[in-house]
Chains A and B, each alone.
Chain A
Amino acid sequence: MTMTVEELIGKELFKVVAEGDDLSRQVTGIFCCDLLSVAMGRAPSDSAWVTVMGNVNTIAVATLADVSCVILAEGAQADEMCLARARQQGVTLLATEEPVFEAALRVHELIHG
Chain B
Amino acid sequence: MTPANIAGMAAIKGLDVIAVTDHNSCKNCPAVLAAAEEYGILAIPGMEINTSEEVHAVCLFEELKAAMEFDAYVYDRLFPFPNKEEIFGRQQIYNTDDQVCGTVPNLLINAADISFEGLWELVRGYGGIMFPAHVDKTANSLIANLGFIPPDSKFTAAEVKDLKKLHPLKKANPYLESCRIISNSDAHYLEHIHEPELTLQVEEKSVKGVLQALMNMK
Q: A residues bordering B, Cβ < 8 Å?
A: 35-37, 40-41, 53-55, 57, 60, 63-64, 89
Contact = CB atoms under 8 A, between A and B. Distances in A.
Contacts of B110: 36-37, 40
12 contacts: A35-B54, A35-B111, A36-B54, A37-B52, A40-B110, A55-B140, A60-B88, A60-B109, A63-B87, A64-B84, A64-B87, A89-B87
Contacts of B189: none
A57 B109 contact: yes
B187 interface: no
B88 A37 contact: no
A55 B88 CA distance: 13
Interface of B: 50, 52-54, 79, 81, 84, 87-88, 109-111, 139-140
Contacts of B109: 57, 60
A41 B78 CA distance: 13
Nearest to A55: B139
B81 A40 contact: yes
Contacts of A37: 50, 52, 54, 79, 110-111
A65 to B, nearest CB: 11
A66 B100 CA distance: 31
A53 B109 CA distance: 15
Contacts of A57: 109
Nearest to A57: B109
B111 A53 contact: no
Contacts of B87: 60, 63-64, 89
Interface centre among A35, A36, A37, A89 (most CB of B within 10 A): A37
Of all A-B residue pairs in the complex, the 3 with the closest CB atoms, nearest first, are A37-B111, A55-B139, A37-B110
A57 B110 CA distance: 10
Contacts of A40: 81, 110
Contacts of A53: 139
Contacts of B53: 35
